[in-house]
Amino acid sequence: MAVPLLGALWAETPLETRIFGSVLLFSWAVYLWEALLAWRQRTVYKTTTHVPLELGQIMDVETFEKSRLYQLDKSAFSFWSGLYSEIEGTVILLCGGIPFLWSVSGEVSEYAGFGPEYEITQSLAFLLLATLFSAVTGLPWSLYNTFVIEEKHGFNQQTLGFFFKDAVKKFVVTQCILLPVTALLLYIIKIGGDYFFIYAWLFTLVVSLVLVTIYADYIAPLFDKFIPLPEGELKQQIEAMAKNIDFPLTKVYVVEGSKRSSHSNAYFYGFFKNKRIVLFDTLLEDYSALNKERPEDAGSESQAAGENREETETPAKAKSKKQGCKNEEVLAVLGHELGHWKLGHTIKNIVISQMNSFLCFFLFAVLIGRKELFAAFGFYDTQPTLIGLLIIFQFIFSPYNEVLSFCLTVLSRRFEFQADAFAKGLGKAQDLYSALIKLNKDNLGFPVSDWLFSMWHYSHPPLLERLQALKESKQD
């Protein structure tokens, strides 16, 4: 009896109210699902207090306990920050935060001499205020994560001054890219006519390709120091491996990621015949030129301070000694990464991303004229294009986005196995096996996971599964 009654009441409810209620309900459903998964994984952290037999030859007791405690702290932080984020989003929606901020941005635009007819200007003001609000409300969480959790477990290498300087720089650089791109996108949508979604998609495609191309050369160096990998055995071996698989390598860089964190990474970028490889110094057992510079810098503090004040803001505290990887293991890791290129994973991901982008812009074109979508979020008299993008892409598409995200996670794990197999084909199985163990130890990754949590979240297969796949070839 209650169900039909609720169904009748729901049917009589205005459409905009049903849309708003559905968005809120789905948001909380996703949050509760994520909380359930996190609880399952946290239970694994709490109950798995001894190294499982199958890990006896992989991880010592001390490292196992360190990684368990690290992941417990991260899990607790994720729970509270996630709960805050969900409550904040709900309060903003219920209290009309979006139309309020749009009104404030209109007042700001008018104060600057732009009337209501300058919708793009008001949209940029809205975007600036929204990102500023997000940065300010997220700052305490970022501080706690960096200077409490990461510091406690030996990963943080930043000072407070460096952290704030870096945060301000990131915000400014983001605005310098975001605001002009958004202005052009809104202009294209305004003048594009019936087929504006095609032009908008093409524009975002070009922007994404340009950003991928210039990021490591012009954007990343604003935050981290990049130096060419010194001549030597490692560079020669990397170049030989690249040549062997026809990878058009032009440069190899080492990035000084250690000035902010002890976590390690490696990646490649570039299009066509202009590929570059970037290695984090924390990935290398020997920091090469970086280690050689530090004693000299320490012996000439005054000169270094005069030449580069930012370097002096890097923490002076001693770095925690990390295993890093030997040259053979670094080559194995790169063999895996280059496998993604050789097997076409990068191109496949770009194609999937752009197909999704085109579909979303097409559906946006279909839905943008529906006034009830705007009314559901408090916009009764105006239908700003930027607000339409926000409502449709973030709220209306949220169920689709969740499904797509899971499918891409499954695909990513498949790609990772294939890249491991490619490295095996290069004769790197044993070195990749030991490198994965070392990287897991260095980053305090916990090797035991709940099956449902890992299935939903892990873009990389669990460590034991990857090692098992490599072990067969290693023993051959």
Alpha helices in 48-96 (DSSP H): 61-94
119 vs 121: CA distance, rounded Å: 5
Q: Which residues contact 432 (CB under 8 A, 6 or more apart)?
A: 329, 332, 333, 335, 336, 420, 423, 424, 470
Neighbours of 75 (CB within 10 A): 18
Alpha helices in 245-370 (DSSP H): 289-299, 301-307, 309-312, 327-342, 345-367
- What per-residue string of b and e applies to 215-227 under the rule 16 or more CB within 10 Å gives b? ebeeebeeebbee
Strand order in 275-280's β-sheet?
A: 226-228, 249-255, 275-280, 266-269
Q: Which residues contact 173 (CB under 8 A, 6 or more apart)?
A: 219, 222
Neighbours of 55 (CB within 10 A): 18
101 vs 29: CA distance, rounded Å: 26
* Residue in 86, 293, 311, 337 annotated catalytic: 337
Q: Which amino acid is at 214?
A: I
Reference 154, options 344, 320, 321; nearest CA is 320
Reference 109, options 127, 124, 122; nearest CA is 122
10 vs 14: CA distance, rounded Å: 8
The reply to whether 310 belongs to the active site is no
- What per-residue string of b and e applies to 157-178 under the rule 16 or more CB within 10 Å gives b? bbbeebbeebeeeeeeeeeeee
Q: Which residues are catalytic?
A: 337
